[in-house]
Structure 1
């Protein structure tokens, strides 16, 4: 089966959503998805909910705090925001949800609104154990390549 041409494929918007609850709350992706569908159906009706096509893509929840990315069809982002705002409990646990932002790609949504920045590193040569070696530097930490593996070091080890 052939793929649809790009101009016929559905377009999506991605909502960055934070979820807060009590530390002992049991909230998982499936339960949050179910509550989101119910909220969308109650608010938008069957046809509106089907048009918005709300889907939870990535869900991370621990110790009462979580983040997720919710996908919605382009043109239905406002309806999706309203449906997300209607979620007030998951698995019998009260939750507070907030939409932090909307983006056109999952990656931009995570990096811009959820703080999941891609790690930036710089590759350079360093002197380690009196020998010149390849290293990867990021956030003040340096990983030095040594015999097929890496050794962790800091900037202070090279002065």
Structure 2
């Protein structure tokens, strides 16, 4: 079977998607893909979600941070952004989703918008709610471990006086 001529092939756009959750959240490509398709079907219907495509090509998630590269047909980028905006949890785990950028090739998308692993995360003891508690510090975010789960906070620095 012959390939389609270039002018008849589908054109794609690739979205770099940032993911954030609690440090103990377990998330894999399959569950994220299933939730993405489910959200697209709920928002756009069967025909609209088929036009969108929304395939996850690249996925990395560890220690509550991650990223994905999601494919969409050219002209459907805004609808995919709307679908991603409706996603707030995967398998009952809260999830923050943000679009970092859009590219015409997977390679350009990864080079421009996807960070490589190596973000510093440190386990510290912090003062929270009148007690010393364990916390995971990542950049400017602090996730304080409580008995019922995690609480998100930000680090405040006070100048020496």
Does TM, scored on the shorter chain, surpass 0.5? Answer: yes
Q: Does 1:32 align with 2:68?
A: no
Instruction: Give the corresponding residue for 2:151.
Output: none
Partner Cα separation in structure 1 for residue 15 and residue 50 of structure 2: 17
Partner Cα separation in structure 2 for residue 109 and residue 84 of structure 1: 17
Instruction: Give the corresponding residue for 2:112.
Output: 112
> Conserved in 2, the CA contact under 8 Å of 1:26 and 1:91?
no
Q: Does 1:83 align with 2:79?
A: no
Partner Cα separation in structure 2 for residue 20 and residue 79 of structure 1: 21
* TM-fit CA distance, 1:115: 3.3
Structure 1: which 5+ residue stretches go unaligned? 117-159
> Conserved in 2, the CA contact under 8 Å of 1:87 and 1:95?
yes
Runs of 4+ in structure 1 deviating by more than 3 angstroms, as ranges, are none
Instruction: Give the corresponding residue for 1:103.
Output: 103
Structure 2: which 5+ residue stretches go unaligned? 117-161
Instruction: Give the corresponding residue for 2:65.
Output: 65
Partner Cα separation in structure 1 for residue 101 and residue 66 of structure 2: 15
Q: Which has the larger radius of gyration?
A: 1
* TM-fit CA distance, 1:12: 0.3
TM-score by length of 1: 0.71
The number of equivalent residue pairs is 116
Q: RMSD in angstroms over aligned alpha carbons?
A: 0.9
